[in-house]
Amino acid sequence: MKIEQAALTFASLFICLNMAWAQNEKPNFTGTWKLDKEKSEMGTREGYGRFRGGMFDSLVIEHNEPTLIIKRKMNLPTAEERTVESKYTTDGKSNSNEGFRGMTSKSKTHWEEHKLITESTMETEMGIMETKEVRSLSSDGKTMTVEVTTKGGRREGTRKLVFNKQEAGNGDTIAVVTQWREDQIVTEGIMDFGSKLTETYILAPGGFQIIVTLRVEDKRLKEPINIRHVYDLHGQN
């Protein structure tokens, strides 16, 4: 059997495993996200008019339950860019993060079915500002919606922010590296939500068989999965 056919096990097993996991697991928001200004609803602020759109052009999220790290990139009026990193836990515990203007935001984050809810408070010059963010993911994992409700302060109002996931290269979310390691061909695939798959090809003594070993590593597994296939050279017994 050709090596190209053997390589199908790499993609096939990955798809099957993650389809099964996806049915029971909470969404994973890991990735680089760009604001879709056309689909977003920036809303209005009482007494101040519309929210200024495009303040957050992009987000980079690292999500490894129960840890959620969000890096927000802000475009300042001076044409400068500033990124602020916020760390949360999704287990309902209290978290504290510094905002863009040095003010401290205190929050708690929890799951409600497949939606992630963050409720926070911040002391501002105009009093205490309360914010509720409801974060959800589309079924294909490519669109993240954040519904924001704010009370108090200058930003009182509602917004619906829609972010598109930025894919790598040709649109695949999998990063694959193939290289020689001594007498073996090794293909490593790393998914943006943490799964790692390693496929090793080696020619058996005599040159009439190819041995393919697949290793799957994921935090959702108790231990790595190892699968070994042996393929005969076509035309050989």
6-24 pLDDT, tens per residue? Answer: 444 555 555 555 554 445 5
Read off the pTM.
0.61
Token couple for 129: 């500002």
pLDDT digits (tens, 9 = 90+) for 182-204: 889 988 776 655 677 889 999 98
pLDDT at position 49 is 42
Tell the CATH topology of 33-165.
Lipocalin (2.40.128)
Gap between the terminal Cα atoms of the chain: 13
Residue 189 bridge partners (DSSP): 176, 197
- Which helix (H) or strand (E) segment holds residue 14: the answer is helix 8-24
For the chain, give every residue range classified as CATH 2.40.128.20.
33-165
How far is the C-alpha of 135 from the C-alpha of 123, rounded, in Å? 23
Q: Are strands 174-181 and 157-165 parallel, antiparallel or unpaired?
A: unpaired
If you average pLDDT over residues 100-121, what whole number do you get?
A: 92
How high is the pLDDT of residue 171?
A: 39
Which has the higher per-residue pLDDT, 50 or 174? 174
Share of the chain above pLDDT 90, in %: 35
Which candidate, 211, 208, 209, 183, places its Cα nearest to that of 199?
211
